[in-house]
A and B are shown apart, each in its own frame.
Chain A
Amino acid sequence: MSILCLWIPDWRIGEESSADLTPLFLEEVPRLAVEERGVVWMDVRGLPAERVARRLVERVTEREVGEVRAGVGAAPIVAEAAARFGGAVVSVVERGEEASFLASRPLDLLTADGHLLDLLAGAGLRSCGDLAALTAEAVEVRFGSEAVRAWRRARGDDRRVLFRPIPPQRPHATLDFVDYTVRDATRLVFPLNALLDQVCETLRARAQRARSITLTFSLSDGGSAREVLRTARPTADRALWVRRLRAALEKVQLGDAISGIALEVGSVEPVSALQGDLFDRGFATASFVEEAVARLLDRYRGLFVRQRSSGHPLAERRTSWADLTPEDVASGSAEDENAGPPALALQLLTAPRPIRVRTRGRRDHLVPVRYLEGKQWLDLNSAGPDRISGGHEEARPYAREYYRCVSDAGSLLWIYRDAMEERWYLHGWWD
């Protein structure tokens, strides 16, 4: 016997007048499913089904929710039929007796589809036994696929999945210090290493990798402290998690002595692999690159970046950087447009450098003709100016005249005159 069905026609879930019976059910059975029509399914595999059913009926009756009856059977439809039509408070249908027990039951037990029930009644079928006596082919041809499902149920073959599979417990490991407490968290490296070994071994056995691991410290005062460890990408690599643990232990500050430690995997994902491409030269080494990049990102967050450029008038405010994941680096996929021919590109100094410049007048502006590099004056051949101004909306006004200058030394420089300060700056160069 595996399914217990409680039939409580007057009980409605969510209504204030109805008692909440769910905690009571869960005290007796591990899994249950409740339907709005007052039917409660319970998983009684491995339990003394009839005894559990009687105890539940007694306890529910005490709550005064109206009529309560229970049925036990190998299939849901049998258990429901036993509960509704069994004639006793608790009815048990033994294995092998399902079809005969169902034979005299009405067809509306099998389906709630009114149209189908009308069709069946029109064909002169009155009970489950009438339907079960037909062949599956005849039922499917005349009444459709839904009728085949009802036909199966009429024969005691109910394939409904009432209970979702129980997810496996997340990998975890704990250690309690019974005889002593620890004040220095860094001393926990060795025990945590051992716990991590268990956790990573479980992950590998399940072909999973962890996105995060929660480290919990139980404190002597009864409290606890948590640290969530994350790596750049999900992994079951113990060495990587040990590094994260060490870093966390060095930083953690606890209010009291530690009386226990626990590690629990936060969320997991299955270990997966991509199908290779014969013409992708980088595919064979992708996993090595991902691992190398993940190690680097664990140490230096935000190390790998993608450049984004805006249209800000000030060149130094045009560039922003978005972090890349190991997968982004390994895939090497370019969101950027294709690069053109090899070309010198403008490079900016981290901050514009003030320089001394000699100028000559040209129409309405001054052109730089020499500038002081170290102790040497270098001649300049200059193009410009490109004038920009603005920034009043941010209370940081700017007004600059930019010149592209080729120096005697054979370098192409980007120089500007700050019209607000009346000073000259070297902003960048082409390389």
Chain B
Amino acid sequence: MSALADLRRVLEARFPNAVPLPERTVPQISTGLEALDQILPSGGLPRGRLSVWAPGIGGGAVLRSACMRAVERGERAAWVDGMGWEAPGMVWSGVAVARPRTEVQALECTEELLRSGGFAVVVLVGEGSTGAQRVRLCRAAREGRSALVELSAEPHMAAVRMWGRASAESFHWRANDLGEPVAVEAVTLRVRVAAAGWSRESDVALMVSNHEHSLSLDPGLADRRGVLR
């Protein structure tokens, strides 16, 4: 038994990246969501490894939270948005936001930021890397000791895979006096995490930021509320 333990120690020293995440030898980045951190194999997003959040609801909110918690701790975080989406009124709180124009630019940017070694977490949103590109990104993440997270359906080489799903009943509505829904206030996601030798699920509660309209009623229209009938 001691020989097996010795062999294990030697292998861990020789191949640190091959140590399963549940061994908790890998430094991690907290997501800022305790319920999620508890089901992640290393207690957070693993540094130097690739994590993947499959397309669906909640990935953006969770990863933004991880970035902002990193910045709060005095580290750096980068958000590489390869899709060019806009989020009006978004507060980034010191997260470095890159908006590449092409998918190649997004991959190049992600790799360069990872290699710099100055970012605790780098999130890549877009078509995602595949094949050799992903190998390069994983290597860059390992060299830079950064947690690389992709919002992608492709799980290849990912140390941690995460899914979030919600049903119509998961959303918490605020109703008016007539009992009609007025706004969604929160949502409870069912998040599943999988890694080598690891599979956990948990409910994660998230707020919903409601987009405020600044109404510009125009008396020139037939209906002052802007609707022509």
Interface residues of A (CB under 8 A from B): 279-282, 285-286, 288-289, 291-293, 295-296, 299-300, 303-307, 309, 311-313, 315-316, 318-319, 321, 324, 329-330, 332-334, 336-350, 362, 364-365, 379, 381-383, 386-392, 397, 399-402, 404, 406-408, 410-412, 414, 419-420, 430-431
C-alpha spacing A400/B227, complex, angstroms: 7
C-alpha spacing A201/B117, complex, angstroms: 28
12 extra interchain contacts, Cβ-Cβ under 8 A, other than A292-B112, A342-B207? Answer: A288-B118, A300-B100, A312-B214, A329-B96, A336-B92, A343-B209, A383-B173, A399-B226, A412-B57, A412-B171, A419-B226, A431-B59
Chain A: which residue is nearest B67 at the CB level? A339
Looking at the complex, which one of A279, A329, A342 makes contact with B64 (CB distance below 8 Å)? Answer: A342
Looking at the complex, which one of A332, A400, A408 makes contact with B76 (CB distance below 8 Å)? Answer: A332
Most buried by B among A300, A344, A349: A344
A420 touching B216, Cβ below 8 Å: no
Interface string of B83-100 (1 = CB under 8 A from A): 111111111111011111
A342 touching B208, Cβ below 8 Å: no
Contact residues, B166-214 vs A (CB, 8 A): 166-168, 170-171, 173, 180-184, 187, 206-211, 213-214
B105 touching A388, Cβ below 8 Å: no
Known: A292-B118, A324-B96. A344 touches B61 (CB 8 A): yes
Q: Is B215 on the interface with A (CB-CB < 8 A)?
A: yes
Looking at the complex, which one of B33, B72, B170, B184 makes contact with A383 (CB distance below 8 Å)? Answer: B184
Q: Is B131 on the interface with A (CB-CB < 8 A)?
A: no
Known: A289-B119, A408-B168. A347 touches B99 (CB 8 A): no
Query: What's the minimum C-beta distance from A424 to chain B, rounded to whole angstroms?
Result: 13
C-alpha spacing A315/B88, complex, angstroms: 6
Known: A303-B99, A332-B71. A348 touches B85 (CB 8 A): yes
Q: Is B130 on the interface with A (CB-CB < 8 A)?
A: no
Known: A303-B105, A303-B109, A313-B216. A343 touches B93 (CB 8 A): no
Q: Which residues of A contact B90 (CB under 8 A)?
A: 307, 309, 345
Query: What's the minimum C-beta distance from A64 to chain B, rounded to whole angstroms?
Result: 71
> How many contacts between A and B, using CB within 8 angstroms?
244
C-alpha spacing A311/B180, complex, angstroms: 28
Chain A: which residue is nearest B173 at the CB level? A383
Q: Is B75 on the interface with A (CB-CB < 8 A)?
A: yes
B109 touching A300, Cβ below 8 Å: yes
A365 touching B206, Cβ below 8 Å: no
Stretch at the interface among B9-17, B39-47, B217-225: B217-225
B65 touching A289, Cβ below 8 Å: no
Chain B: which residue is nearest A401 at the CB level? B227
The list of the 9 closest CB pairs from A to B, nearest first, reads A389-B226, A334-B94, A285-B118, A289-B118, A342-B65, A292-B116, A431-B60, A410-B166, A343-B207
Q: Which residues of B contact A346 (CB under 8 A)?
A: 87-89, 209, 211
Q: Is B157 on the interface with A (CB-CB < 8 A)?
A: no
Q: Which residues of A contact B216 (CB under 8 A)?
A: 313, 388-390
Q: Is B108 on the interface with A (CB-CB < 8 A)?
A: yes
Looking at the complex, which one of B92, B108, B187, B221 makes contact with A307 (CB distance below 8 Å)? Answer: B92
Q: Which residues of A contact B112 (CB under 8 A)?
A: 292, 295-296
Q: Is B62 on the interface with A (CB-CB < 8 A)?
A: yes
B181 touching A307, Cβ below 8 Å: no
Chain A: which residue is nearest B102 at the CB level? A300
B68 touching A344, Cβ below 8 Å: no
B208 touching A412, Cβ below 8 Å: yes
Looking at the complex, which one of A285, A307, A315, A392 makes contact with B211 (CB distance below 8 Å)? Answer: A315
A334 touching B57, Cβ below 8 Å: no
C-alpha spacing A282/B101, complex, angstroms: 28
Known: A288-B117, A345-B61. A420 touches B182 (CB 8 A): no
Q: Is B58 on the interface with A (CB-CB < 8 A)?
A: yes
Query: What's the minimum C-beta distance from B54 to chain A, rounded to whole angstroms?
Result: 13
Interface residues of B (CB under 8 A from A): 32-33, 57-62, 64-65, 68, 71-76, 83-94, 96-101, 105, 108-109, 112-113, 115-119, 165-168, 170-171, 173, 180-184, 187, 206-211, 213-218, 220-221, 225-228
Q: Which residues of B contact A382 (CB under 8 A)?
A: 181
Q: Which residues of A contact B182 (CB under 8 A)?
A: 383
C-alpha spacing A78/B104, complex, angstroms: 73
C-alpha spacing A347/B151, complex, angstroms: 14
Q: Which residues of B contact A410 (CB under 8 A)?
A: 57, 165-168, 170
Known: A337-B93, A342-B65, A390-B218. A350 touches B84 (CB 8 A): yes
A412 touching B119, Cβ below 8 Å: no
Known: A315-B88, A406-B171. A342 touches B32 (CB 8 A): yes
Most buried by A among B88, B170, B213: B88
Q: Which residues of B contact A404 (CB under 8 A)?
A: 183-184, 210
B97 touching A319, Cβ below 8 Å: no
A431 touching B58, Cβ below 8 Å: yes
C-alpha spacing A341/B32, complex, angstroms: 9
B227 touching A343, Cβ below 8 Å: no
A305 touching B64, Cβ below 8 Å: no
B168 touching A381, Cβ below 8 Å: yes
C-alpha spacing A396/B87, complex, angstroms: 23
C-alpha spacing A321/B218, complex, angstroms: 29
Chain B: which residue is nearest A382 at the CB level? B181
Known: A318-B88, A345-B64, A399-B228. A296 touches B108 (CB 8 A): yes
Query: What's the minimum C-beta distance from B67 to chain A, rounded to whole angstroms?
Result: 9
A-B contact pairs, 15 of them (CB 8 A): A281-B74, A285-B118, A288-B116, A313-B215, A318-B89, A336-B91, A343-B61, A345-B60, A364-B227, A389-B227, A401-B226, A407-B168, A410-B170, A412-B187, A431-B60
Chain B: which residue is nearest A335 at the CB level? B94
A304 touching B97, Cβ below 8 Å: yes
Query: What's the minimum C-beta distance from B28 to chain A, rounded to whole angstroms?
Result: 15
C-alpha spacing A402/B214, complex, angstroms: 12
C-alpha spacing A365/B73, complex, angstroms: 48
Looking at the complex, which one of A292, A347, A379, A406 makes contact with B184 (CB distance below 8 Å)? Answer: A406
